[in-house]
Amino acid sequence: MNNLPKSHPRYLSLLQREKIVKGFRKGMVVPQGLIAQGRAEAFDYILGEKTIRPAKKAIEAAASLFLLAKYPVISVNGNTAALAGKQVIKLARASEAKIEVNLFYRTKERKEKIEKFLISLGAKKFLVKKMPQVIIPGLKSERRKVSKEGIFKADVVFVPLEDGDRTEHLIKMGKKVVAVDLNPFSRTSQKASITIVDNIVRAIPLLIDTIQKIKNKNRNKLKTILKNYNNKKTLKEAIAIVRKRLIRMSSLN
Ligand code: PTJ
């Protein structure tokens, strides 16, 4: 749709749809990615399409973790590239992180297409394309194939919207995982070290802002932010908000 009216009450949501559809037409997003977007829209609708307080807390902890990390890596899939390609690059710049394209429905062509797209947005300096390819131990999905210089080497891995198969294995490898998932019940959400229950299109810009804001704090202060952060508790708070919103919505006449 070329002429989305800005005054439309669901303008921002429709804009995301357009980006996903465009990504699909370009061959970056898989058909299953359209389903993932639909699921996200439903959760976002329930959450009021705004960043909730628990997500802000998680973002502060994630920003501290990024700043304390020795080798942070941002994992990018088709949906993330289509929805937030530019923001991912800004985040890499702000946190001195690497970017690696890692796909569930992996094909060589699609991986290269997404890498080319990211390079066209300015990602060249951050992108890890170089093999050797290694395997995440125990993981069966195509996502097990990672670069030795990317996700395999990372101490912190940022996984915006994924389907949970990998987070557990990365944690088993001793890595910290920061996930963004609108679904607080998902396996990714439950297993990640830090879960940001928010839409990636809002969460990534906020994460960048927070990194800029706290980057001059001394390391002990950042460590204290992390020590005081409890992911289980934050997830429970997010779920409580879902529950409250559903109750409020169901009592409308
Ligand atoms: O590009 P590929 O091959 O790596 O495939 C990517 C998808 C997303 C298709 C694949 O990982 C998949 O099938 O994922 P799922 O199982 O649909 O899970 C995606 C999760 O991300 C769901 O819990 C959604 O709620 C969530 N999600 C989707 N879009 C967003 C989101 N969370 C935050 N922001 C979004 N925009």
pLDDT score, position 54: 98
Between 132 and 208, the higher pLDDT residue = 208
Check if 63 has its Cβ closer than 6 Å to any atom of ligand 1.
Answer: no
How many domains, the chain? 1
If one residue of 162, 166, 180 were mutated to test the ligand 1 pocket, choosing by the most ligand atoms within 8 A of its CB, it would be 162
pLDDT tens track for 12-24: 888 999 999 999 9
If one residue of 12, 19, 182, 196 were mutated to test the ligand 1 pocket, choosing by the most ligand atoms within 8 A of its CB, it would be 182
Is 22 among the domain residues? no
Look at 70-74, 125-129, 205-209 and tell me which has the smallest mean pLDDT: 125-129
Question: What long-range pairs does 173-180 form, CB within 8 A, spacing at least 24?
Answer: 173/136, 173/137, 176/65, 176/69, 178/62, 178/65, 178/66, 180/204
Check if 181 has its Cβ closer than 6 Å to any atom of ligand 1.
Answer: yes
- In the block, which residue shows the tokens 């399409």? 49
Is 46 among the domain residues? no
Check if 40 has its Cβ closer than 6 Å to any atom of ligand 1.
Answer: yes
pLDDT tens track for 92-112: 999 999 999 999 999 999 999
Given a cut of 80, is residue 131 above it in pLDDT? Answer: no
Check if 39 has its Cβ closer than 6 Å to any atom of ligand 1.
Answer: yes
Is 150 among the domain residues? yes
**SS3 readout for 171-229:** HHCCCEEEEECCCCCCHHHHHCCEEECCCHHHHHHHHHHHHHHHCCCCHHHHHHHHHCC
Which atom in ligand 1 lies closest to the alpha carbon of residue 162?
Answer: 11
Separation of alpha carbons 29 and 221, rounded Å: 40
Is 248 among the domain residues? no
Share of the chain above pLDDT 70, in %: 98
Q: Whose CA is nearest to atom 35 of ligand 1?
A: 199
For residue 229, the domain's CATH number is: 3.40.50.12640
Share of the chain above pLDDT 90, in %: 85
Q: Decide: 76 and 62 in contact? Cβ < 8 Å.
A: no
132 preceded by cis ω (within 30°)? yes
- For 145, the domain range is 53-243
Is 84 among the domain residues? yes
Is 5 among the domain residues? no
Three-class secondary structure of residue 253 per DSSP? coil
Check if 197 has its Cβ closer than 6 Å to any atom of ligand 1.
Answer: no
Is 31 among the domain residues? no
**Distance from residue 122's CA to the centre of ligand 1 (Å):** 24
pLDDT score, position 133: 87
Is 102 among the domain residues? yes
Instruction: Name the band, by pLDDT with cuts 50, 70 and 90, for residue 61.
Output: very high
Give the chain's mean pLDDT.
94
Check if 72 has its Cβ closer than 6 Å to any atom of ligand 1.
Answer: no
